[in-house]
Amino acid sequence: MARDRANRPEAKASRLFVAFAVSDAALDEVERAIEPWRARFPQARWVPRENMHVTLKFLGRTWPRLEGWVRQQVGAVAAGHGPVTTRLTGLGSFPSAARARVLWVGIGDPGGAFASLAGALDVALQEAFTPESRALSPHLTVARSAPPLNLDEGFARTRIEPAGFRVDRIVLFRSHLRRPAPRYEPIATLALGG
């Protein structure tokens, strides 16, 4: 009966993703490093501090009937992977500095721990979601721009202290799209290592 209701057109899909948070100290360093660029490119859509996270798996439209299963799968993956100590690694942009649509701060991936976690999420969720075709490049998105920005070499050379932090949990988020910035609602917080 509940499954039938979840399949009806009026059952609304949510946009879900799996991510981890960055420590407050690391976010302080990110804000310090990007401040001159925020002033230089006010037309970019700068991500509010409370929305900054590192995405491991974007699920996209997810029907209510799948949410419990997704939580179980993500929980099982989290239990099978231990905490990770990482650090900020520098600034960059996608797809290139000359046509920057996304500005980011890199996150180290010691021993491929985050790539392994993302790969395990792909495997666990492949029954309902398409596995990612690109290798994970852990990063914290700090701004988006359309039209693209033309960054000079100084952006990638911006000094950023390699602030270290520990990742001991991942979060399943629901995304509420609105202006000027989306709101991300945590729907499950799952400890790494059980």
Predicted confidence (pLDDT) per residue in 108-164, tens digit: 999 999 999 999 999 999 999 999 999 999 999 999 999 999 998 889 999 999 989
Residue 2 has pLDDT above 50, yes or no: no
In the predicted model, is pLDDT for residue 1 greater than 90? no
Mean pLDDT of 88-113: 96
Q: Are strands 14-20 and 54-62 parallel, antiparallel or unpaired?
A: antiparallel
What CATH architecture applies to the domain 17-191? Alpha-Beta Complex (3.90)
Q: How many CB atoms lie within 10 A of CB 174?
A: 16
pLDDT above 60 (res 80) = yes
Tell me what pLDDT residue 8 has.
Answer: 52
Average pLDDT over residues 163-189: 92
Structure tokens at 142: 């700090």
* Residue whose token pair is 């979601």: 129
DSSP letters for 132-171: PSSPP--EEEEEEEEEEE---TTTTT------EEEE-EEE
137-158 exposure pattern, b = at least 16 Cβ within 10 A, e = fewer:
ebbbbbbbbeebbebeeebeee
List, in sequence order, every beta strand (DSSP E) within the chain.
14-20, 45-46, 54-62, 84-94, 100-107, 139-149, 164-167, 169-176, 183-191
Is the per-residue pLDDT at 89 higher than 70? yes
The 10s digit of each residue's pLDDT in 9-65 is: 557 899 999 999 999 999 999 999 999 999 999 999 999 999 999 999 999 999 999
